[in-house]
Structure 1
Amino acid sequence: MSDIPRIFDRTLIARHLSRRAATDDVFTKLIHQDLDDRLGTLKRRFENALAIGPTLELLPEHTATADGPVTFARLATIDTEDDDGLPDMAENQYDLIVSVLDLQVVNDVPGYLSRLARSLTPDGLLMAVALGGESLGELRRAFLEADTHIFGGAFARVAPFIPLRDAGGLLQRAGLALPVADVETHIVRYSDPLALMRELKALGAANPLVDRPNKMATRGLIARAMEAYGEAAMDDDGRVRATLELLWMSGWSPHENQQKPLKPGSATVSLTEVLKDKSKA
């Protein structure tokens, strides 16, 4: 683990989460709704399911597939210690694991996914949701404008997110079969940019980087950023928009009965013949 760079300050994240108010937030509602929709079409029963994430308040307790209800055991992975974020879990324990907003606060994402994959029973399903690469673009651009105006340069004030193009490779690297990754894009609205920032802080996502800028977010900087945000993303009713990408990743623990890709050369109809037929249409 000594070779894994420390990107996220997990002690700071734990402190933010400990101050989290016991209220629903837009992020959690959207995630739970998407999860229900995705599992609701799956014809499969899960008898031993786990929901895992930074804090219990983010995690679902119940959902359902097309074949019946699912009840989750729940595990929080952020505590008051600055740990590596890799949960201590038994192998071959769960037939369903859902990771909620954990991938953007662990320093070793491949190691984390591999640990979860080893905890799956054969033909068990891993689903993970994280903020996608285009999330909070309005906020990033607002702080870029404010930092440039006040300090003459840009600083990392919003944590990096996983791009969609990397998601499938991460699942395969973890040893999962039939990997799938896609993005759900939501436009959410807030009374003002500060309301968005308060919600991000409650989620532990308020600049959790170890290498935070030494230029403090002064009142002047915040005011300039909020002004830039309003100019770029305010609607006629005075509310502001925020783009939220939910990156969903899923893969199955290998099993002999799973569908396998066809071997090269095993097709019974050649592509040349198919294209020839279409050209006659």
Structure 2
Amino acid sequence: MSDTMQVFDRAAKRRQRQRVAAKAADYDFLRAAVAERLLDRLDDIRRSFPLALVQGCDAAWLQTHLGSRGQIERIVSMDSVGGSGLHAVGDEEFLPFAEGKFDLVIALLNLHWVNDLPGALIQIRRVLKPDGLFLGAMLGGSTLSEMRQCWLAAEAEIEGGASPRISPMAETLDGAALLQRAGFALPVADSDIIPVTYTDAFSLMRDLRGMGETNAVLTRRRTFTRRATLLRMAELYQQRFAGPDGRIPASFEMITLTGWSPHESQQKPLRPGQATHSLADALGTMAHPIGGPLKPN
């Protein structure tokens, strides 16, 4: 969309991920943990999905994590970066599939890099069949909060200002509203923190580079980071957050999105005035007119 705010350099992000694609399996611990959580959600849904679209990983990778789960019969895999095992290469904001094609869409850690998140969710709903399910996981605003604090402090101290080092991310409270805006029924968003510990900040940065999760904000600094700033950031990280064993924590917030493509069989809320039981009866208390006096039971 022409009026979409451009926050991320999508071309730079594709280049970053393409450079590390050959060794992606060495750094997939976070993706594997998130996939397991998503598939656990799928286990709670007692129905089959003949055709599923999976964004963010290839079909073979996901198949190894499906184990004995039998809900998904066929998988079409898509990513913005080409590679073996993929059925399609495409942009999350412009899905190259027909309307109403899939029974299930899974988005695995790819939506936090799109500029038009509402548009990407609309695209997902478009390719779902009526009563089709969307399951998505994306990194949320609390991700790498420790490193974010230390970068800001180090740059302010050494360079007299700060530049965007870690990308802005959605908050959990926005998730259900975005799903509803995109036309999903029964929208749910929740979050979970996945804690990881490292020997030092440099080990964390190596993992982020290996996962293809390094900075791709359009307004990022385009020159090399000063050595003094980098060392000060690492020093502050150790001073502020190291545990008794000397290891530092890194928080990854996973926001899980769940929504259904609308269908007439789905439950719908009653219109005002149609309820057959009052909230007061359910709570075992008394109802009073608005503005009226309160009376003890």
Query: Is this a same-fold pair by TM over 0.5?
Result: yes
Q: Say whether 1:134 aligns with 2:156.
A: no
Amino acid at match of 2:110: D
**Does structure 2 retain, via aligned residues, the 8 Å contact 1:133–1:162?**
yes
**Does structure 1 retain, via aligned residues, the 8 Å contact 2:101–2:128?**
yes
Give, in whole Å, the separation in 1 of the partners of 2:220 and 2:44: 42
* 187 and 271 in structure 1: CA distance in 2 versus 1, 3 angstrom threshold: same
1:246 to 236, 242, 254: 254
1:192 to 191, 200, 203: 200
Residue 122 of structure 1 is matched in structure 2 by 130
**Shift in Å at residue 237 of structure 1?**
2.3
- Identity of matched residues, %: 37
Give, in whole Å, the separation in 2 of the partners of 1:276 and 1:34: 38
1:49 to 48, 52, 66: 52
Give, in whole Å, the separation in 1 of the partners of 2:271 and 2:214: 48
Could you say what secondary structure the match of 1:12 adopts? Answer: helix
> Which blocks of at least 5 consecutive residues in structure 1 are unaligned?
none
Give, in whole Å, the separation in 1 of the partners of 2:241 and 2:73: 39
Give, in whole Å, the separation in 1 of the partners of 2:17 and 2:53: 21
Q: Say whether 1:182 aligns with 2:190.
A: yes
**Shift in Å at residue 57 of structure 1?**
9.1
Could you say what secondary structure the match of 2:50 adopts? Answer: coil
Give, in whole Å, the separation in 1 of the partners of 2:68 and 2:186: 19
2:120 to 112, 120, 144: 112
**Does structure 2 retain, via aligned residues, the 8 Å contact 1:182–1:248?**
yes
Amino acid at match of 2:9: D
Higher mean C-alpha deviation, range 224-233 or range 73-82: 73-82
Could you say what secondary structure the match of 1:15 adopts? Answer: helix
1:60 to 59, 62, 65: 62
**Does structure 2 retain, via aligned residues, the 8 Å contact 1:43–1:66?**
no
Alignment of 1:84-233 (within 5 A): 85-213=93-221, 216-233=224-241
Residue 12 of structure 1 is matched in structure 2 by 12
Could you say what secondary structure the match of 1:268 adopts? Answer: coil
Residue 39 of structure 1 is matched in structure 2 by 42
**Shift in Å at residue 85 of structure 1?**
4.2
Could you say what secondary structure the match of 2:263 adopts? Answer: coil
C-alpha RMSD of the superposition: 2.6
2:30 to 27, 31, 50: 27
Give, in whole Å, the separation in 2 of the partners of 1:99 and 1:212: 26
Larger-Rg structure: 2
The number of aligned residues is 279
**Does structure 2 retain, via aligned residues, the 8 Å contact 1:177–1:251?**
yes
**Shift in Å at residue 69 of structure 1?**
5.0
